[in-house]
Amino acid sequence: QVQLVQSGSELKKPGASVKVSCKASGYTFTSYAMNWVRQAPGQGLEWMGWINTNTGNPTYAQGFTGRFVFSLDTSVSTAYLQISSLKAEDTAVYYCAGGTIAVAGYDAFDIWGQGTMVTVSS
Amino acid sequence: VIWMTQSPSLLSASTGDRVTISCRMSQGISSYLAWYQQKPGKAPELLIYAASTLQSGVPSRFSGSGSGTDFTLTISCLQSEDFATYYCQQYYSFPRTFGQGTKVEIK
């Protein structure tokens, strides 16, 4: 079935880096964009940006430039989110999400990874 | 940036109630609006897209309406499994934006 499976929880110290993976299955990976969404503890959903799975071109939302990098390995149908110079305020659940019902680039997110909890603490 | 105002932030209701959640946009988005349900510790799930199209597998007690700037999610007869947090999201333009969320709790 169509699914996104993310890597497990991470506990990191401030200043470290983390790389979260999101493996797609059940559909052609390069057919649909991949989005990343952040949810801080007790807070709402925040769209971080997206990556074109055909070209590898990323687009970042305001507030997610510089330390955040989206990348792909299409050979294994996997998207990655890397965060460098981690801060306590990066503590959150990070989701990958895709829209397999997209029409002409308009995509509601019908598939979601299970989320990866990243905790930044000394 | 398209700003979204979702209301109410908290809704107390009983099983069997009809509930409505509103989402208002700062500018028109045609019908490019989705509604998601999120339960504690779980990823969001798509309920409705294109403002009123029910996602496959979603019970028919959920419905969506609206276009342009004003949208509504209605749950016609609240069930125990519907107590959760609901988010609207516009996908008309970048950046994609979510509403602040509505927590539906047991009255």
- Please name the member of B1, B32, B97 whose beta carbon is closest to the beta carbon of A106: B32
Beta strands across the sheet bearing A18-25: A3-6, A18-25, A78-83, A68-73
Contacts of B95 in chain A (CB under 8 A): 47, 49, 61-62
Per-residue pLDDT of B21-46, as tens digits, reads 999 999 999 999 999 999 999 999 99
Round the average pLDDT of chain A to a whole number and report it: 96
Chain segment A52-71, per-residue pLDDT in tens: 999 999 999 999 999 999 99
CA distance B23 to chain A (A): 15
Average confidence score pLDDT of chain B: 97
3-state secondary structure chain B: CCCEEEECCEEEECCCCCEEEEEEECCCCCCCEEEEEECCCCCCEEEEECCCEECCCCCCCEEEEEECCEEEEEECCCCHHHCCEEEEEECCCCCCEECCCEEEEEC
List, as ranges, residues 24-63 from A with C-beta within 8 Å of B.
Answer: 35, 44-47, 49-50, 59, 61-62
- Residues of chain A contacting B100 with CB distance shorter than 8 Å: 44
**Among chain A residues, CA nearest to B29:** A106
Asked whether the predicted pLDDT for residue A5 surpasses 80, the reply is: yes
B29 lies within 8 A of chain A by CB: no
Cβ within 8 Å, pair B91-A107: yes
Q: Per-residue pLDDT tens for B71-84?
A: 999 999 999 999 99
